[in-house]
Structure 1
Amino acid sequence: MAKRKSVRKPKRDTAHLVGSWSFLVGLVLAVLLGLGFTGAYQGQMLWAVFLLGIVVGLLNISVKEASGFLMSGTVLVLVSFLGVQVGVFESVAPAIANILRGILTLFVPATIIVALRAVFTAAKS
C-alpha cells in the first residue's frame, strides 16, 4: 500500500493572525456602535474601532494585497460617506446610517495606512 503524503498547511504568522482578528472584532464593534448597544462606552468603543482600523492597515494587508484593498476600501469609504451625507438612510433606517459611520471609523485609518505604505513602496523601488 502506498504511503499517504501529508499536506502541510503554511504557518500563519502572528501578525497576520492579529490583523485578521482585529478586522473581525472591529467590524463587530462597528455594527454594535451602529445599533446603539454601546451605552456609556460609546466613546471608548469608537476609539477602539479606530485603533483596530490602524492595526488592520499595519498588520493585515500585504504589499501584494494593497491595490485590491485600496480599490475596495476606497469604494466602501466613499459609498458609506455618501450614504451618510445624502441622508437616505436617516428616514428609512437610522441604524444603517450609524453602522455606515462605524464602518467608516474602521476603514478610513486602514485605507490611509495601506495607501501610505503603497506610496512608500512605490517610491522605494
Structure 2
Amino acid sequence: MHTILLVEDNEMNRDMLSRRLIRKDYRVIMAEDGQQGIDLAAQEHPDLILMDLSLPVLDGWEAIRILKQSPELRGIPVIALTAHAMISDQEKAFAAGCDDFDTKPIDLSRLLEKITAALAMRG
C-alpha cells in the first residue's frame, strides 16, 4: 500500500480528497500547512506528496523547494495542487521542483492517473 502525504489547509478539500484516496487503497497522512508537510515528510517518508500551493505558515512553493533540497526527501514525487490554473503558476510550481501539477477543483480520475505515473517513475 502506497502512502500519500496530502498537504492542504482547507478542511473540506482535505476530507473529501483523503476519503477518495483511501477508497482507492492509498494510506493517507495529512498536514494543514507547508511546515507541517515538511515535518511529516521527514518523519513518514511517504511515497508521494500532494501539495496545495496556497498554504499558511509556509506556502507550497517554498515547501517544495525545501523538500527538493533535502537529500533524504528529494526523491519523493510532489504533485502541486492549486486553484490557480494560469500557465505562470504551473511554471512557478515546476521551477520550485514539483514533479507534476493539477488544478482544483480536483478531477479524481485525472489526478489518479498522475499519481499512478509518478509512483511508477519512482519505481
Compute the TM-score of the two structures, normalised by the length of structure 1.
0.30
Higher helix share: 1
Compute the TM-score of the two structures, normalised by the length of structure 2.
0.30
| Higher Rg | 1
Higher strand share: 2
